[in-house]
Structure 1
């Protein structure tokens, strides 16, 4: 218990205390207390649009990211160890490649006059592509979701034993039967956990989308930062309420994740 004391103090100071501060100030309305900030949020089309955009970008980028990460993680198990180590190291590096450098790199490649955009237009693959739209942001978010998904899912494939596949084949099970009845049920906890982490990663992303769109795209982190920095109007209480909405979204996702885990556990049993 004494060894855990420093961790407990840091956790309280940097996790619990800021959350309590934000929760308390989210209820501050003028000279009193109440739910006025939340009423403004859920009655405003502007704030509801920010919530909608954040959820859409987070969901689709997490879905695309985890699908590609599943294929990549499984493929890494089938290749030479040197190539595998290189890809894992590269994924570790690119998972931290975000913010201004990532936004700048995508502008050079996929901006209106980006090298890859011009090339794809010339060969007729695309007619038009707007990196600064919701679709463009989904592509951008998916990029930094993939390496994180690979790092999280790669160890999960250790749970799949080769003799299970051989036994299933001897009993007449095909590839689809193996993955449906053995592979996916075993990987389900890791898949759900990774998907939740990717959602949280996308919902809280700020620097990349800010520097790519100069804060003009309406998502929750941009709205929170604008009210704290005072670029338009300084309103930390409303920013706290928006932050609590973000916390609430993650709480709902986490509870749903736990319920799905329990259900998958009972099904596999």
Structure 2
């Protein structure tokens, strides 16, 4: 008994640096942000003025709407593509799968300012592909604007798809070969197997990964800032402008927007957790 207690204390001591890191860099700033959001602009008076300002302002409501919409569409698009690509990975040899996963891992980490700069070089107004196709007489990008909602979706999907593939790929190994053989013996086609067995088994993983992709997109800042700057109204860009700008410095209002951003992420993850529980219960 004494030995078990000693072992538990030893494990707790090993976890202590991680606990301190979480408290110092996650819980601490979050608590400070929540506290600051309830102060007036003078930083002394406690009030709900910041939240009233947000919900009365069409500008900030538009920022929330744009961020949620872009995050939702990029997450949906990425998860659909990832399902197909992750499944195709399983058809290669083990060596090829490892190489493909390495490429996906490298691609998922290519985001932020370098990614936006690459898209500007290739698909901007004077980008390589834009000028090349124009010279060839193909008006492929005549109605495409990289510095718009469509451009943001395209850039977000680029770094979301590899992340979704890496998270979803292990789930395909949970689909046993015996299930496919049993379904084939009972006369089920491959399409029917995936519709009635394969996809329902994958649904909890898909729902969980969707919440991760949504949170990843709604919190993205560097990519959007480098691509559109202040030309497109996004929640992350407005928060940064309010807490670091020399012109519109309002840290209390920025904190309130930050709380709403975190609340949106938590709400999306809570909804997906409920969906996952319901799907698992139905499968049982």
Sort the TM-score into its range (normalised by shorter chain): over 0.9
Unaligned runs of 5+ in 1: none
Residue 138 of structure 1: how far off its partner (Å): 0.5
Query: 1:113, 1:267 → 2: CA distance?
Result: 53
The correspondence for 1:40, drawn from 44, 50, 53, is 53
Residue pairs, 1:43-122, within 5 angstroms: 43-119=56-132, 122=137
Unaligned runs of 5+ in 2: 1-11
Most deviating of 165-174 and 112-121: 112-121
Query: 1:169, 1:201 → 2: CA distance?
Result: 39
Query: 2:20, 2:141 → 1: CA distance?
Result: 54
Query: 2:132, 2:192 → 1: CA distance?
Result: 42
Larger Rg: 2
Residue 126 of structure 1: how far off its partner (Å): 4.7
Residue 119 of structure 1: how far off its partner (Å): 4.6
Query: 2:168, 2:26 → 1: CA distance?
Result: 26
1:129-171 Cα distance to aligned partner (Å, 9 max, x none)? 1000011100110011011111111111110111111111111
- Divergent runs of 4+, >6 A: none
Say whether 1:191 aligns with 2:206. yes
Find the residue that maps to 2:13 and give its secondary structure: coil
Say whether 1:142 aligns with 2:142. no
Say whether 1:171 aligns with 2:182. no
Using a 3 Å threshold, how does the CA distance of structure 1 residues 126 and 215 change in structure 2: closer, same or farther?
closer
Q: How many residues align?
A: 269
Residue 35 of structure 1: how far off its partner (Å): 1.3
Residue pairs, 1:114-133, within 5 angstroms: 114-119=127-132, 122-133=137-148
Query: 2:199, 2:215 → 1: CA distance?
Result: 23
Q: Give the CA RMSD over aligned residues.
A: 1.5
Using a 3 Å threshold, how does the CA distance of structure 1 residues 81 and 119 change in structure 2: closer, same or farther?
farther
